[in-house]
Structure 1
């Protein structure tokens, strides 16, 4: 057998293994962590990958390709969600060659040694100037992956609550006028994409921002999974704002006849400082610990049997972000010390 044939067979074996891992773990209530790099004092990627391994964090999400991060992940069991920059979406949509070049540079060199589970086309680009291009960009990237035998990598995008025109109650969930057509094109992509693994939509869910913007009407206990009196929506009872926000997306997808599209929570978390007393280390620890416990055993009232995979935001406090809460979502400080007790590592 030629060297090229051996390399190809090895690549296909790794792809199959990743596919099986995703099928077995998707929707199991697992928790990963976002890894941002907006800091000038952060540990090296190899140190960070070591932290993920010691802490037993199974999933990592990065927002754009970083060769040093991808190199550090080689040979590990960490499953990666790899993002594209928002400014690249239009080019990826308008040129199959550009999509192929992106895959050739950022996926193919790592495919036999890094477990890439998802590629996310942009982050919170709906609504926005790139929104109309996301569906075609997803199609082009998927075509490029399929051409080199990597069709088992799920291609998706990430949306925030801003895509919804009505947030509460969950049954009233609907996409905004600026979001509904891009969402329909994405759903059409999901319908057309033949894949052995589920293709989820990633959604960013932040009860903190809802609570901080309206504490008179959003009780802290409801945001923290501690409510004892439910918010009733028809026949459904909500004891957490997190569930209500997730179900708003499920309801909105139902309204555009896409109720079978599964969700992954691409970001969720609570800042430990920057807006006292709403932010504190204790509030951040409580929210994140309750979130982990909740999703490991519960779906939502609208989808009670469908457990969620979620990515906590985020690994480190990053000093190059906007001052205030944005610099204080980290689980660790840049010197690798925990901001508050959380991981057993």
Structure 2
């Protein structure tokens, strides 16, 4: 698979550049993908004709409606995708953020049906093979992540997690996760840990089981 650099485009901040100035800023870098936490039409429209891949997301609060009402899913696609695509290169829709670790059982149970209805709405619009559907998880899904060869999901998520992974596999959509280097560093504040988290030169960390040496946290997790 092709590697690339992307950014999260958060909007909870002061002095953000206006959306129309965003494309020029991004095109002055090697950034090829942008993730929006929502689906701000001004930003989506501003990125039109740039070729930059755009990830848009539904709010967690939309999940119950998306799960129970296929027409709501169609309306969401009609509002947030069809007016902009393909000029704006929307490549992925993330249904919710860190739902599985939210401790909201109702939301967790409705996540997969919501994703399926969004996928069906894309299929109905003849976009099923062009725009993928997934959700974004936290690292809290993992019961263990170190060493990498011992990584496994927390079994308490059981069948729900199995269903989500089967959806990803069936639709060729990515398994998306939010890695937080700061939390890794906070639990181990040695200078070499900071270098390991931030892609700086370091001695690397050996997985004793596989004898594979990992040079940064991103690869290791």
Q: TM-score range by the shorter chain?
A: 0.7 to 0.9
Which residue in the other structure is 1:150 paired with?
Answer: 127
Q: Which residue of 1 aligns with 2:205?
A: 230
Residues 141 and 214 of structure 1, relative CA distance in 2, 3 Å threshold:
same
Relative to structure 1, the CA distance from residue 104 to residue 57 in structure 2 (aligned partners, 3 Å threshold; closer, same or farther) is same
Cα offset, 1:52, TM superposition: 1.0
Structure 2 counterparts to residues 26-175 of structure 1, below 5 A:
27-128=1-102, 129=104, 130-151=107-128, 152-175=130-153
Q: What TM-score do you get using the length of structure 1 for normalisation?
A: 0.58
Aligned residues: 215
| CA displacement at 1:70 relative to structure 2 | 1.6
Q: Distance in 2 between matches of 1:76 and 1:216?
A: 41
- Whether contact under 8 Å (2:63, 2:110) holds in the other structure is yes
Q: CA deviation at 1:114?
A: 0.9
Q: Are positions 1:183 and 2:161 aligned together?
A: yes
Return closer, same or farther for 1:75/1:235 CA change in 2, 3 Å cut-off. closer
Contact 2:5 2:30 in 1 (8 A): no
Superposed CA RMSD = 2.1
Q: Distance in 2 between matches of 1:186 and 1:67?
A: 28
Structure 2 Cα separation of the partners of residues 135 and 166 of structure 1: 24
Higher RCO structure, 1 or 2 (CA under 8 Å, sep 6+): 1
- Contact in 2 for aligned 1:59/1:78 (Cα 8 Å): yes
Deviation at 1:39, TM superposition (A): 2.1
TM-score by length of 2: 0.88
Residues 312-331 of structure 1 aligned to structure 2 (within 5 Å): none
Q: Which one has a bigger Cα radius of gyration?
A: 1
Unaligned runs of 5+ in 2: none
Residues 62 and 82, structure 1, Cα contact 8 Å, conserved in 2: yes
Deviation string, structure 1 residues 191-212 (Cα, Å, up to 9, x no partner): 443xxxx411112222331111
Greater strand proportion: 2
1:273-318 Cα deviation digits (max 9, x unpaired): xxxxxxxxxxxxxxxxxxxxxxxxxxxxxxxxxxxxxxxxxxxxxx
- The 3-state SS of whatever aligns with 1:50 is helix
Matches of 1:147 and 1:100, distance apart in 2? 8
Does the 8 Å CA contact 2:55/2:92 hold for their aligned counterparts? yes
